[in-house]
Structure formats: structure tokens, C-alpha cells
Structure 1
Amino acid sequence: MTDSEDHLDGEPTEADRIALAELILKLRANGVRDRRVLGAIEGIPRRLFLSSRHQALAYADRAMPIDCGQTISQPTIVAMMTEALDVQPHHRVLEVGTGSGYQAAVLARLAREVYTVERYRSLKRYAEDRFNALKLENVETRIGDGFEGWPEQAPFDRIVVTAAAEEIPESLVAQLAEGGVMVIPVGASGTVQDLVKLTRANGQVERSSLCAVRFVPMVHGVAERL
């Protein structure tokens, strides 16, 4: 993977610090209020999850491309999804779609354990390098079909899906603990999708819509290459 050749060390520049401060102010202006979420985003250097050619825009509020045709989500969307999950320190979280590892790294600052599933081996390795560089010891990764989740570790207090499914996978809903919350984009690829929040309470699953989003599609199976 090209990005794996980028440096994982080095102090943030003054420009990085200014851009990050401006990003946090923008997240607040966009309605993100949870101080723990803002603190987690402030504490995870997004530039480490981008290639060198994109690091100048690390703290811009925009999605950025990564390898395998995937993206690292816009910081506002990461913050909104994380805030909607309401992750607590004792929670076990499942993430479907590791990608660069940025969302999992943010979650690792908030949860007891994070389990993240990726279908591309190169992205899994890339994310693991970042987790190791940041000394995040509460993140477990695996290669797998995101639609299957991680049944051996279920149930989960929180589940977040970082790719859009045309229908909500019942296999993931089944892995949600009582009182649990799942956040997932729902809709067809190439269209405006609905960011959905599911809450399991008293044996029932309640659904609510959060906002319109655009995510890469959720794909069955494990990639044969990459």
C-alpha cells in the first residue's frame, strides 16, 4: 500500500494545531456538543491516516480518498456518528469497515474495547500500523465479511457501520446487546443515503433517522486481493 510508506512519527506542525482548533470549532458549530467526542477527535491526529499527498488537508472538513477505492469520512460525519452512539467507558464496540482506522481510533479513546472488521487485507495492515503508532491497545482487527459482523464476540453495546447497506443487515442487529445502539448509513450506492440509528430496548428495535449522507457501498465477502 502506498500510504504505508508514510511516516508515523513527528510532532504536529503549528499549521496542524491551528487547523485542528478550527475543525473543533466547526464541529461545535455543526451541533456536536459531547466533550468526550470532541476530545477524542482532538486527540487523534487525522493526518496519520492519510497519505502524504493529502496531509495538507488532514483537518479540512471533507472526506478524503484512501486505497482500495475507499474513503476516510468527513470529520463532521465521524463526530456525528460517534456522538449518536453515546459510547461509554465500559462499552464494547463493533465497527464494520475499518478503512484507514481513523473512526476506530476515535472510538478507542471512548470505549473499553473496539472490534473492527475489514474486507481488504492491505487496509487492515495499514490501520494496525496506526493503532500501534498511537499505542491503542484496546482495538482488535480481523479480515471478514462485514455483513457477518463478529459473532464470536457478540453481543456489542454499540455497532457502527462505515459503508452504506441497501437494507439493514439483520445479522448485525442480532449482535446488538439489550440497550445497545447501532448507527448505519442505509441506501443505494451513488445516491443520497439515510444515516439511521437503531436502539434495542425491551426486546424491540427502534429506528430513527439522523441526516442525509453519502458513503461507499457495503459489499459482501472478503476481497481476494489487496
Structure 2
Amino acid sequence: MSGRVSEQEGFAAMVLRLRGEGISNQSLLNAVEQTQRGHFTPPQFQADAYSQRTIPLDCGSFMEGYDFAVRLLHCLNLKSGQRILEVGTGSGFTAAVMGRIAERVLTIDRYQTLVATAQKNLEKSGVRNVIVRQADGSAGVPGEGTFDRILITAAFNSLPRMFSDHLVSGGTLVVPIMMSETHCRVVRVSRTGSRFDREDLFDAPYIPIVMQLASYL
């Protein structure tokens, strides 16, 4: 079986699984299909690129399973023309998918190793409107203004107000929250004027966010 056939089959299987959950956003699925996941998967895990398994990355990070990553992006309800912030770059896969829909994506990670690798992955994938930056994800993004959508992929103990303040009215924040020492759930926050509405969505495999930049990785 060629790599291309494997990619097509992996995508088709994921679409069938998520349709069973009511996820059928065509613009999102088109962007996912255009983004070769193999470009973002470490060489030793290529066989798992289109699986539901989490895939280890450098610096103790990981790549979400294929279904889970698309489910997260579905929760954002991405639209063309939006400005997106992602906290936790990882492999760069979710940033690449968002970049195919939105006007501009800023993605940050505390590890320079992941930032450099994600930049190379994005270049391989031909995505040019994603900015990758090393930054402390626990501190907000001072000076960057506001965003239409914010995706965070490291867990906070409570809703991070500094990121809520980066949302425009009508904006959406998706963030994992630690419900206990071992239980994490993805939460969606929608802003309307000065009001914030919260929805608890589903369990997630994330661990608590680590403050400050990594010095050596």
C-alpha cells in the first residue's frame, strides 16, 4: 500500500468516526485533508500518523490522536478571516490546519526544539500564514492584541483570565482545565461583550502547564 493510499484511508476512517459524533464541518475537514499528517509525525511513528493514539514528541510533549485533534478544532468553529492564537505548538499540525482556514495564526511553545521542528513541518506542508514563536504560555501574549479564537493545549487549574482578555466579543477560547490532580476536561468559553459563557466538553489527556521558558530544550 502506498503512502498516499494510506493517507486517504486514514482520513476517510477518521471522517466516518467523527460523523458518528455529529462532526461534519466541511471547511474544517477540507483543511484537515489538505494537511498531510505525516509531515508532522516523527519518522519512527509514521505508521501511527492517522491513528487515534497519542504520539510522543521531543521535550516530553505529544501529538494528539488524529480524531482528538480534529474534535478540538471543531470546537473552535473556525472561519476565514480570523486571527488565531494557539498556546502549545507541539508538532505544528493543529496550527497548520487552522492556517488553511484563518487569516493568521500565532502559535507559541516554551521549548525552542519544538518551535524549530514545527517551523520546518509547516514549511514542508506549505503553510505560510502561521507564526511560530518561543514564549511562556502561562503569561499571555502581551502586545499581540486580541484574537477571534484561542486554542490552549496545556491544562490550567482554573480559567486563565489573561487569555480571556485576549478574546474579541464573539470570540471563543478552548482550554483544558484540571478538575482534580488526575482529571482534565476541555472547556469552551464564549465571550459576548463583557460576559463569558462556559461549556464543559470532554475529558482530555493534557497535563498542567509549566511556567517560564525552557532554558536548554
TMscore range, shorter length: over 0.9
Q: Secondary structure at the match of 1:152?
A: coil
Q: Work out the CA distance in 2 between the residues paired with 1:108 and 1:194.
A: 25
Does 2:89 align with 1:127? no
User: Which residue of structure 1 aligns with residue 175 of structure 2?
Assistant: 184
Task: Give every structure 1 segment of 4 or more consecutive aligned residues whose post-TM-superposition deviation is greater than 3 Å.
Answer: none
Does 2:43 align with 1:52? yes
Q: Work out the CA distance in 1 between the residues paired with 2:127 and 2:21.
A: 28
Q: Secondary structure at the match of 2:33?
A: helix
Does 2:191 align with 1:200? yes
Answer with 207-216 or 115-124: which moved more.
Answer: 207-216
Shift of 1:190: 6.1
User: Which residue of structure 2 aligns with residue 155 of structure 1?
Assistant: 146
CA contact (8 A) 1:183 1:197 kept: yes
Q: Work out the CA distance in 1 between the residues paired with 2:76 and 2:128.
A: 21
Q: Work out the CA distance in 1 between the residues paired with 2:29 and 2:181.
A: 30
Shift of 1:189: 8.0
Q: Secondary structure at the match of 2:117?
A: helix
User: Which residue of structure 1 aligns with residue 19 of structure 2?
Assistant: 28
Q: Work out the CA distance in 2 between the residues paired with 1:48 and 1:179.
A: 33
Q: Work out the CA distance in 2 between the residues paired with 1:129 and 1:198.
A: 32
Q: Work out the CA distance in 1 between the residues paired with 2:99 and 2:125.
A: 11
Shift of 1:24: 2.1
User: Which residue of structure 2 aligns with residue 5 of structure 1?
Assistant: none
Shift of 1:71: 0.7
Q: How many residues align?
A: 216
Q: Work out the CA distance in 1 between the residues paired with 2:115 and 2:4.
A: 28
> What RMSD, in angstroms, separates the aligned Cα atoms of the two structures?
1.6
CA contact (8 A) 2:52 2:68 kept: no
Q: Work out the CA distance in 1 between the residues paired with 2:6 and 2:67.
A: 20
CA contact (8 A) 2:39 2:125 kept: no
User: Which residue of structure 1 aligns with residue 95 of structure 2?
Assistant: 104
| Alignment TM-score, normalising by the size of structure 1 | 0.90
User: Which residue of structure 2 aligns with residue 67 of structure 1?
Assistant: 58
Where in structure 1 are there 5+ consecutive unaligned residues? 1-10
Q: Work out the CA distance in 2 between the residues paired with 1:183 and 1:89.
A: 18
Shift of 1:216: 2.9
Where in structure 2 are there 5+ consecutive unaligned residues? none
Q: Work out the CA distance in 2 between the residues paired with 1:205 and 1:148.
A: 20
Instruction: Choose from 134, 151, 163 the match for 1:172.
Output: 163
Residue 55 of structure 1 aligns with an amino acid whose one-letter code is Q
**1:64-115, Cα deviation, whole Å (9 max, x unpaired):** 1111111111222211221111111010000000011011011111110000
Instruction: Identify if the C-alpha distance between structure 1 residues 68 and 189 changes in structure 2 by more than 3 Å, giving closer, same or farther.
Output: farther
CA contact (8 A) 2:86 2:95 kept: yes
CA contact (8 A) 1:91 1:157 kept: yes
CA contact (8 A) 2:39 2:124 kept: no
